[in-house]
Amino acid sequence: MKCSLRFWFLSTAFLLVFVMSLLFTYSHHSMATLPYLDSGGLGGTHRVKLVPSYAGLQHLNKGGLLSKSCTCRRCMGDTGASDWFDSHYDGNISPVWTKENMDLPLDVQRWWMMLQPQFKSHNTNEVLEKLFQIVPGENPYRFRDPHKCRRCAVVGNSGNLRGSGYGRDVDGHNFIMRMNQAPTVGFEQDVGSRTTHHFMYPESAKNLPANVSFVLVPFKALDLLWIASALSTGQIRFTYAPVKSFLRVDKEKVQIYNPAFFKYIHDRWTEHHGRYPSTGMLVLFFALHVCDEVNVYGFGADSRGNWHHYWENNRYAGEFRKTGVHDADFEAHIIDMLAKASKIEVYRGN
């Protein structure tokens, strides 16, 4: 009997010590992972405490570890409003390819390499290491102040923007994301004049002002070699089509779209409809993972059912609706579902 009591006492004591050790370790780790930002040029050193964005900590919020203090009309950190959204969303996957997440999972590597297969293989990590000597290779969205609302406008290229008068509203956002050609000069009243992020692949790339982030959407290792070349030697002039040999953009603002995030959209959201998601989908989900409030402009057909760009007249309604690559109908369905879940607001235009 004495032996049993002694065994029970020692076991209980050991368990208490183990639990206290775990609690101490967790508390210490939590405090250690809250970084501080030194903000210079503000008349002295001002240390601002930042925490990860609500979008990135959505799953923690489900466990009641965070209190909601988002100041937006709609907050990405709001959970429970849509089981469909919560079951698809993963805030742990970074939309930006950086020095920290260079190593792609094998299934992602294989999928990405088959998007636009090449005759010559390249060591992706070696290419990235050289590229990150030219561009930052950091994730600028990793931490932010949860008490401020980051409002983002995702501006597509649909003809429904023409005559919409959305320009002033678009320009009022913190981030304004555009894709591919997306001219603004001459269309300011309908599409706005400001741009903070421009998403392009090599074959659609153009020069950008110094205050705009060039976000490269890479479909192959050659695209990474191209951006490094276009910002330095200018040696690469052709991929599967002619490309700009030199690119005038702000090197400090260049970001690389993460293939793992690309595949996550293909698997979780567009669910393998089409060979891969459209650029519009890539930009929309980028915004959903770095912004607190997302408003969408210039997606879908115009009021007459025509699918064309706002800067051109296209006589063939539905030309861009289905291609061998994207499924515009299913992507439109996803946008509708996001709107119903109150995660985005869609401005339909004309």
197 a catalytic residue: no
**Active-site pick, 173, 266, 289, 326:** 326
Catalytic residue (choose from 264, 276, 297, 310): 276
Tell me if 326 is assigned to a ligand binding site. yes
Q: Which residues contact 100 (CB under 8 A, 6 or more apart)?
A: 139
The number of C-alpha atoms within 13 Å of 73 and in the hemisphere containing its C-beta is 8
273 is in an annotated binding site: no
Please check if 118 is assigned to a binding site.
Answer: no
For the four alpha carbons of 258, 259, 262 and 264, in that order, the dihedral sign comes to negative
Distance CA 347, CA 350 (A): 9
139 is in an annotated binding site: no
Catalytic residue list contains 276? yes
Residue-by-residue DSSP string for 306-319: ---BTTS--SSTTT
Q: How far is C-alpha 154 from the geometric centre of its chain's CA atoms? A: 11
User: How many Å apart are CA 348 and CA 350, to the nearest integer?
Assistant: 7
Instruction: Say if residue 206 is exposed, middle or buried (CB neighbours under 10 Å; 0-12, 13-18, 19+).
Output: middle
Strands (E), the chain: 36-39, 46-49, 151-155, 175-179, 197-200, 213-216, 255-256, 293-297, 344-347
Q: Are 295 and 151 in contact (CB under 8 A)?
A: yes
Q: Tell whether residue 157 is among the known ligand binding residues.
A: yes
Beta-bridged to residue 322, according to DSSP, are 327
Q: Is 266 annotated as a binding residue?
A: no
Whether 276 has a binding-site annotation, put simply, is yes
116 carries a ligand binding annotation: yes
Quick check: helix, strand or coil at residue 80? coil
The torsion angles phi and psi of 154, rounded to 5 degrees, stand at -100, 115
Please, which contacts does 313-316 make with residues 24 or more away whose CB atoms are closer than 8 Å? 314/159
Q: Which residues is 293 bridged to in the sheet? A: 151
Upper half-sphere CA count for residue 80 (Cβ side, 13 Å): 7
| 289 labelled binding-site residue | no
Burial readout 55-74 (b: 16 or more C-beta within 10 A, e: otherwise) = bbbbeebeeeebeeebebeb
Tell me the catalytic residues. Answer: 276, 326
- Tell me the binding residues: 116, 157, 180, 240, 276, 280, 300, 309, 326
- Tell me the binding residues for substrate: 116, 157, 180, 240, 276, 280, 300, 309, 326
